Amino acid sequence: MPTQNALRRLFDIAFALAGLILSAPVVGLAALAIVLDDGLPVFFRQERVGLRARRFLLWKLRTMRHRSSGLAVTAGNDARITRVGATLRRFKLDELPQFWNVLKGDMSLVGPRPEVPPYVDESSPVWHFVLAHRPGITDLATLLFRDEEALLAAEADPERAYREQVLPAKLELNLEYQLHRSLLSDLKLIVLTAVYSFTRALPDAAFIRRAVLTK
């Protein structure tokens, strides 16, 4: 396990450096589009709960109107999302600045998506297990809940639906993945995340499970 963790961290650093360099032109164009559409700032930072419950600031390209307030969860019909922001979110381009979080060690390429503090129950055994792993840019739950915003848009109370339905399901997927995790499964998740980021098709849950969890 220590050897795998060391290899995973080396891979994270190399991939994050490459990701920051290769995505720089895309981030630059996105930044220009954000400014033209809704002004500054370009980036959005939000406190999240990371490894061993340590707080850190997660970076994203801003997709919502500046100084807008509201729920911590986002439904697909959220009026706070800008025109440019909707496109960035559709192709997951708003997540590109998180390569910086990976390089710093706040996050890994693969790991449970970090939540905002109000949604984390540190006294729960499930959360205790999840927080024992470095959070990531993608994980099994990220793929299987790619249509999360559309699901929440159909709910009368999106925040309640997230707390009572979506989040528990995500945590179960986090547990399942960590029990089957390997360097190969991480690579499969990264490839599948990249593929589905540039297609409107929703992932087939049975296919994703077979592809990622089968050795």
Round to whole Å and give the CA distance between 102 and 58: 10
The mean pLDDT value for 91-103 works out to: 96
Q: 155-164, long-range: CB within 8 Å, 24+ apart, which pairs?
A: 155/75, 158/71, 158/73, 158/75, 159/71, 159/72, 159/73, 162/73, 162/119, 163/119
Tell me the pLDDT tens digit for each residue of 47-58: 999 999 999 999
Q: For the chain, what's the residue count?
A: 215
Q: 184-188, long-range: CB within 8 Å, 24+ apart, which pairs?
A: 184/215, 185/212, 185/213, 185/215, 186/8, 186/11, 186/109, 186/110, 188/212
pTM: 0.93
Binned at pLDDT 50, 70 and 90, residue 2 comes out as low
Check: CB of residue 51 under 8 Å from CB of residue 82: no
Tell me what pLDDT residue 95 has: 96
Q: 82: domain range?
A: 2-213
The mean pLDDT value for 69-85 works out to: 88
Other beta carbons within 10 Å of 174: 23
Pairing assessment for the beta strands 43-49 and 55-61 based on DSSP bridges? antiparallel
Q: How many domains does the chain have?
A: 1
Round to whole Å and give the CA distance between 75 and 113: 17
**H or E, element range at 89:** helix 83-90
